[in-house]
Structures are given as C-alpha cells and as structure tokens.
Amino acid sequence: MIHMATGAGKTHVTLAMYDRWLREGQSTSLVLVDEAHRLVIRDGNTRSATAFRQLVQPPSTPQPVAPPKLITLPFQPRRLRVLSDVELYAKWMMQAEEWERTGRDQRRAESTTVHRVRNPLVRKAVLRRSKGRCENPRCRNPEPVGYTDNGDPILEVDHVVEHAKGGRDHGSNTIALCPNCHALKTRGRDRHELAAFLQGVAQRLHRAASPPSH
C-alpha cells in the first residue's frame, strides 16, 4: 500500500493502522511519501523521491550485445621434422654444456649423503647413443639382459671418472654399461685398468655421435 501523507498527522495514523494489520496477521506492506517528497519506510529511515521512483519503476531491459566478429584464418599445416640421433645428441649436449656454464653442475642435493646433482639430459643422450646395447667393447654379451616396465633396456649410465670426484657430467665422460660390466668397472679386480680403457671409449663414442661441426 502507498499512502501520501499531507503533514496533518495522517502519517502517524497510517503507521498505527499498519501495526494493527500486522497484529491481525494480514500480509501487507507500507510505503509512505510525505509532502517533502521523502520516502518513509516502517523502520524510520528516509530515502529521496528519486530512490522511490527507482523502486516503483520496472528495471530497464539491458540491450543485447552484439557477438564479436570471428575471423576465419586459412588452415596452414605444419610439418614436424623428427630430429636424428646425431641432432638430438648435439641438442642435449649443448644443454648439458649450458648447465655447466651456469654452474648448475656444482649444485649439491642432500639425501643420506651429499652428492653432486646429475643432469638427466646426459643420461638420456647416452642411452640414445648406445641404441640399447652395452658400450663396453669387451662385453661378453652386449645385447640387453632385460627390459624395465617402460620397455627400456636395462643399462647403467656410468661416469668413467667418478662424478663425486669431480668427473665431468658429459657424454665424453659417461658410458652405458650392462649390469655386469658396470659391476666390473665399479667393484672388479681390474676396475682401474677397465676405467682407463672405457675413458677412451667414451670420448670416441661422444665424437662419433656428435655432428661434424660440434
């Protein structure tokens, strides 16, 4: 209900009627506009007549926004070139050398012991270089002794000059060995002579796997 008050006391009379209707359980609402064009609601607050008009007027319907224009681009197929083993090896070795230049090869990681952090790209490159075979020319059975759950041949990428003793984390100082040759190089009676032999092998394999300009 909207009641226009004239200032002659009818506002208070109307509020009393409104309270009586509420006590009687009637569902109603009350809006009073006095002679000063103020909107008076039951809790005693006032609002301007402009606010009142905004309340009684229906909300304006927003204008639809035009969708953005889509530009059709011609299809341009891209041909992906698969890098050769030589190119992949060179790429990973360049990243390994950048690893060295930035000093990341001197970082340490703590587990049960403190050791130098290995570059996973070096291991990846040497495994690709080995083509799944033991790189020790003296190996009695260079064929893979088995495969992992991922289908990779079981090979150990070993640093010829020990990494913990300052050996370079690089293809020229790493070699892929089968478990047997790795054990001979690590714990065998002739491990020192085998290590010296494998050092030359690793350098030769690194040169052979690198591109001519490397």
For helices 191-209 and 179-187, the axis angle rounded to 10 degrees is 130
Q: Is the pLDDT of residue 168 over 60?
A: yes
List pLDDT tens digits, range 72-82.
878 777 778 88
Label residue 139 exposed, middle or buried (CB < 10 Å: 0-12, 13-18, 19+).
middle
Confidence class for position 212, pLDDT limits 50, 70, 90 = confident
pLDDT of residue 16: 56
Q: Measured between alpha carbons, how far is residue 157 from residues 9, 47, 121 in Å? A: 100, 82, 11
What are the structure tokens assigned to 107, written together? 């970082």
pLDDT of residue 51: 53
User: pTM of the prediction?
Assistant: 0.53
Which H or E element spans position 157?
Answer: strand 156-159
CA distance 32 to 11: 7
Q: Is the pLDDT of residue 43 over 80?
A: no
pLDDT of residue 65: 81
Which carries the bigger pLDDT value, residue 18 or residue 132? 132
What are the structure tokens assigned to 87, written together? 């190119």
Maximum Cα interatomic distance, the chain, rounded to a whole number of Å: 119
Q: Which of 23-27, 146-150, 158-162, 164-168 has the highest mean pLDDT?
A: 158-162
Q: Which residues contact 147 (CB under 8 A, 6 or more apart)?
A: 153, 154
pLDDT of residue 48: 45
Q: Which of 139-143, 146-150, 169-173 has the highest mean pLDDT?
A: 169-173
Q: Is the pLDDT of residue 44 over 50?
A: no
What are the structure tokens assigned to 159, written together? 């640093």
Q: Measured between alpha carbons, how far is residue 86 from residues 23, 33, 121, 186, 191 in Å? A: 93, 89, 14, 29, 30
CA distance 42 to 125: 82
pLDDT of residue 45: 46
pLDDT of residue 96: 95
Q: Is the pLDDT of residue 3 over 60?
A: no
pLDDT of residue 25: 60
Q: How many CB atoms within 10 Å of residue 22?
A: 13
Q: List the domain boundaries for the chain.
A: 2-56, 85-209
What are the structure tokens assigned to 210, written together? 């690198």
pLDDT, average across residues 192-208 = 96
pLDDT of residue 28: 52
Q: How many CB atoms within 10 Å of residue 186?
A: 14
pLDDT, average across residues 49-67 = 62
List pLDDT tens digits, range 115-126.
789 999 999 999
